[in-house]
Structure 1
Amino acid sequence: MKMRNLVREKIAENGYALGAFVASGSAVNCEILGLGGLDFVMIDCEHAETDAESIVQMCRASELYGMAPLVRVYDPDDAPMMSRMLDVGVHGVMAPLVGTPAQAQHAVQYLKYPPLGKRGANGGRGPRWGAYDDYVKNANDNTLCIVQCESLEGLNNIEKIAATPGLDAIFIGTGDLSLEMGIQFKADSSANHQVEAPEMVAAIDRILAACKKNGVIPGIVTASADDAARRIRQGFQLVTCMNDLGFFHSRTKQHFQEVRKLVKE
């Protein structure tokens, strides 16, 4: 049985991979997103209550439609958590709040087998109970190690972080990074003023350039179709365009308001 890297396959085919954050812990939502044609889901364990048992079902639902299940953990220094995610079958792990080259190197060590890292061998769902051909050899090429740049410390170290051997992708967390820069969120703003601030524009450009220089996949979070398309045209290759719970909240509210408006007409 051949191990695949669905994200890199999509990037090779289209130039980018389009995905969504899934904060609901729902395998059904993953299946719906996969049926809709998304390339990957980022299962959230940092800001959601998702547990390992749910992740297994979310992986199965995603893989049913050729969609890569990735997961964001909650601690960039928690080695057992990262390794366990791969053991239960996710295709890649994203570590948040990575601010130093040492943290990036630790993530690689937790997620890659020797000689790149020191991940422990196992016979669970990750290697499909031994069904994958030469899993230990192929896992380093086909499981993604992703770190988030979402702090001033990470931005200031971005060139060194991007040069980390074995690192596959850097994903920009625009919300936390803009907060550290002192750019306050405006709930009533019609434009995404946070990412349009000059200092954020420069930061995003700097991170993108560091990724390109080192052959690392550049990723970014977006909140609309227009923004996602713009980032892809800019050169980002790992792009999220929604959060399942946020999308459900905004669209249901819009739908209900439209019904009440029509009733009054």
Structure 2
Amino acid sequence: MLQNNLLQKVSQDQMCTAIGVKVVTSNEIILLARAAGYDSVFIDLEHSVMSIEDASRLCSTSLLSGITPFVRVPYECGSGFVQRVLDGGAMGIVFPHISTPEEARRAVSMTKYPPNGQRSLTAALPQFDFRRIAAKEMIPQVNAVGSTVFVQVETKMCLENIDAIAAVEGVEVLLLGANDLSLELSILGEWEHPRFRDALKLVAAAARKSGKVFGIAGLYSRPDICRHAVRDLGARYVLGHLDIGLLAIAMNKNVEQLRSLDTKP
């Protein structure tokens, strides 16, 4: 059986943690994530120069490490691109800039096998260790737990259509993208602004109403808001930070420590 840490955590009313990967393409980043205790990895093909081959390698390592790999694809990348990412080992796809129920339905169609969607069938997937499994056994598993559909909430139109988008069958996660959404709302980075706080509540309520997972991303420097989203609004998927951000934080701290060595008492 396929293992999806997000769905397993949600079934137990627990939070699923994630680390974003956009610059480090070697397997070591996944092993470090496992050692740190992350539940999932968010591989970013939207805002990076990583290739599908890079993503597939990271996905395969994640699967072997017990960390669930999700991949964010570029906006309007097309069903062929999505299929290659899924065939390469992704356990779910993050679709950015979804604004309408029709776009959400297309996202589901690209990601799920019939009768849930129109994904093309192939054999020997990395999700099953490249073993040949009968389609009648594979398809239900992949549709249920191996092809999670994330709709990224980051446009004003998405907020306006959020209840209808959340109600789309096959959409499993409403992931609020804080940075792009605040930019769209003309309040970039103003996390205390009433419009942003209202957006958090709106997306959380839509997820709760339709039985979908509420997730948050982009609030890496505001653990207080993340805590509010998890404890008060029911968020169950949290993107903790990106690899490049964590490297920058650690390097800055290390330089501070080094410079302190030469500081006279």
TM-score, with length taken from structure 2 = 0.91
- Structure 2 Cα separation of the partners of residues 240 and 44 of structure 1: 12
Report the counterpart of residue 235 of structure 2 in structure 1.
236
Shift of 1:65: 2.8
Decide whether aligned partners of structure 1 residues 147 and 80 sit closer, same or farther in structure 2, where only a CA change above 3 A counts: same
- Contact 1:82-1:111 at 8 Å conserved across structures: yes
- Structure 2 Cα separation of the partners of residues 174 and 144 of structure 1: 21
Per-residue CA deviations over 1:136-194 (Å, capped at 9, x if unaligned) read 12211012011101010111111110000111111001101101111134xxxxxxxx2
Report the counterpart of residue 171 of structure 1 in structure 2.
175
Report the counterpart of residue 114 of structure 2 in structure 1.
114
**Residue 249 (str. 1) matches residue 252 (str. 2):** no
Shift of 1:14: 5.3
5+ residue gaps, structure 2, are none
Per-residue CA deviations over 1:25-71 (Å, capped at 9, x if unaligned) read 33211220112110101000000111121122212322233110110
- Structure 1 Cα separation of the partners of residues 50 and 77 of structure 2: 19
Aligned with 2:43: secondary structure?
strand
Q: Percent identity?
A: 29
Decide whether aligned partners of structure 1 residues 208 and 28 sit closer, same or farther in structure 2, where only a CA change above 3 A counts: same
- Structure 2 Cα separation of the partners of residues 76 and 146 of structure 1: 14
CA RMSD for the aligned pairs? Answer: 1.7
5+ residue gaps, structure 1, are 186-193
Report the counterpart of residue 73 of structure 1 in structure 2.
73
Report the counterpart of residue 92 of structure 2 in structure 1.
92
TM-score, with length taken from structure 1 = 0.91
- Structure 2 Cα separation of the partners of residues 45 and 197 of structure 1: 30
- Structure 2 Cα separation of the partners of residues 16 and 184 of structure 1: 27
Decide whether aligned partners of structure 1 residues 132 and 168 sit closer, same or farther in structure 2, where only a CA change above 3 A counts: farther
**Residue 264 (str. 1) matches residue 245 (str. 2):** no
Shift of 1:262: 3.2
Counterpart AA for 2:84: R
**Residue 135 (str. 1) matches residue 133 (str. 2):** no
Shift of 1:7: 1.4
Per-residue CA deviations over 1:189-220 (Å, capped at 9, x if unaligned) read xxxxx222100000110011001100111110
- Structure 1 Cα separation of the partners of residues 126 and 205 of structure 2: 33
